[in-house]
Amino acid sequence: MPLDFTKHFVIVPTEFKLRNNTDCSWRATVKLMNGRVTLDQGWATYAAVHQIKIGYMVMFKLLTPDTLKVIIFDDDGIEAVNKCGKYDEAFAAKD
């Protein structure tokens, strides 16, 4: 995550809920790596299930201190709409 984004937190959470455009929620842990905050466990599964490919743009919007809205645009700039497909239950966020 860009440093400009993380400076808005008093304390960066150890986990985020990732909410997509169909209101499915996922959990992803947060890890500090080389002075940057990165999404760790759960992100790879999220990216695979939502078929995020090289060339896609992913935008994050902070909804609450621990919830990010994830908006995915394909390589033509069109917003991707993904239904909640099969995924690892371990990363499903419980609302």
The tens digit of pLDDT for each residue in 25-60 reads 889 999 888 878 889 999 998 888 888 999 999 999
Q: How far apart are the first and last CA of the chain?
A: 24
Q: Do the domain assignments include residue 54?
A: yes
Q: Do the domain assignments include residue 68?
A: yes
* Cα–Cα distance, 21 to 80 (Å, whole number): 9
Residue 9 maps to which CATH number? 2.40.330.10
Report the relative pairing of strands 67-73 and 15-19 from DSSP bridges.
Answer: parallel
Tell me the residue range of the domain where 34 lies: 3-73
Predicted model pTM: 0.78
Number of domains in the chain: 1
75 close to 53: Cβ distance less than 8 angstroms: yes
